């Protein structure tokens, strides 16, 4: 028996991550909505919905990963298509929210592109947004519609427990991730260390100092994303220089852009775990023997189920979660 009514709930998939969309539908035990994205010879995108969505609760799953602009435009066209087809509610499910790092003016004459993206999605007709581990939580405030910010923490907590390591310490690769590492340390025990990161540019990072003791210990290091790999690989070098034993890495979003694979292939970490918010395909072959991919399908699927049935999302992340909100 399906977790929810397939007639009133419709889930459509953009082209950015079709495998994740299928896993989410498998979790909800409903079929993927019938529709397709097509390209005109000049590269223009055309979306077609092949079933009745009038009055339905519609979700479009589309992370805005590479190519970011193409996937963002496709998402907005999906939203517009559903809006013009009289969908009852349209939720943009963006497991990875591109442009989230451009969330403030950190120098003169630069845009706040995360706010622009929020405006575009609202103007296209989105009634709600769902995302996983936004780079900056304040991005939620850029929207005038509800935003459900899902936390992949429970997924990584299970993975950390499965490692069954002792004498471990949680490490934040920069000051911005201290809170994330602190949550794991509180839940699983262990000490907390911080690496002082100094950024040279958008592609280069210096990580020069470590606050805490990692000598002879197993390091569990967490970050929200790995883009070029500069922060993580520099951090691993520092940790090894300070006598760390084994080094386990996690990152929600495997952006893996530019020199990331070259850097990670040479990096002496023990193992890395990422989620499937962004599809890897064959991009991570260089580290395949040290890579674990964890799925956010159950997390996102459960969030969709609760949104559709007007149940609490925050209960998903509460130690006293409302199990009655589940099926």
pLDDT of residue 325: 40
Tokens of 121: 């999605």
Closest CA relative to residue 33, chosen from 16, 56, 3: 56
Which segments in the chain show pLDDT lower than 50? 1, 320-327
All domains of the chain, ordered by start, with CATH?
A: 9-151+297-325 (3.40.50.2020), 153-294 (3.40.50.2020)
Q: How far is CA 166 from the centre of its chain?
A: 28
Tokens of 248: 């386990």
Kind and range of the H or E run holding 241: helix 230-241
83 is catalytic: no
Q: How far apart are CA 14 and CA 214, in angstroms?
A: 43
pLDDT of residue 204: 60
Of the listed 197, 245, 311, 320, which one is catalytic?
Answer: 197
Kind and range of the H or E run holding 211: strand 205-211
pLDDT of residue 1: 39
pLDDT of residue 106: 86
pLDDT of residue 317: 86
pLDDT of residue 161: 96
């Amino acid at each position: 028996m399906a977790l929810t009514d397939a007639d009133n709930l419709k889930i459509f998939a953009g082209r950015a991550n079709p495998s994740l969309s299928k896993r989410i539908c498998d979790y909800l035990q409903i079929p993927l909505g019938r529709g397709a994205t097509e390209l005109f010879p000049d590269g223009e995108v055309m979306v077609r919905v092949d079933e009745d969505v009038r009055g339905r609760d519609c979700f479009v799953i589309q992370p805005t990963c590479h190519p970011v602009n193409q996937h963002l435009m496709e998402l907005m066209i999906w939203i517009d298509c559903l809006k013009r087809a009289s969908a009852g509610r349209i939720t943009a499910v963006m497991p990875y929210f591109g442009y989230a790092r451009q969330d403030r003016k950190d120098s003169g004459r630069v845009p706040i592109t995360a706010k622009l993206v929020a405006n575009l999605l609202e103007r296209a007709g989105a009634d709600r947004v769902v995302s996983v581990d936004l780079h900056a939580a304040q991005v939620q405030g850029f929207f005038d519609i509800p935003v459900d910010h899902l936390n992949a923490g429970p997924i990584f907590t299970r993975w950390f427990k499965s490692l069954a390591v002792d004498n471990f310490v949680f490490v934040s690769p920069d000051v911005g991730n201290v809170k994330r590492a602190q949550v794991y340390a509180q839940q699983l025990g262990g000490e907390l260390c911080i690496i002082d990161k100094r950024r040279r540019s958008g592609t280069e990072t210096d990580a020069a100092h470590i606050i805490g003791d990692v000598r002879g210990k197993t390091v569990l290091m967490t970050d929200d994303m790995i883009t070029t790999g500069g922060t993580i690989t520099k951090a691993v070098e520092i940790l090894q220089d300070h006598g760390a034993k084994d080094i386990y890495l996690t990152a929600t979003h495997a952006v893996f852009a530019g020199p990331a694979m070259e850097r990670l292939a040479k990096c002496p970490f023990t193992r890395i775990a990422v989620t499937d918010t962004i599809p890897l395909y064959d991009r991570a072959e260089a580290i395949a023997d040290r890579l674990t991919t964890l799925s956010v399908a159950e997390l996102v699927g459960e969030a969709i189920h609760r949104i559709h049935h007007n149940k609490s999302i925050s209960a998903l992340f509460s130690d006293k979660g409302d199990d009655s909100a589940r099926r």
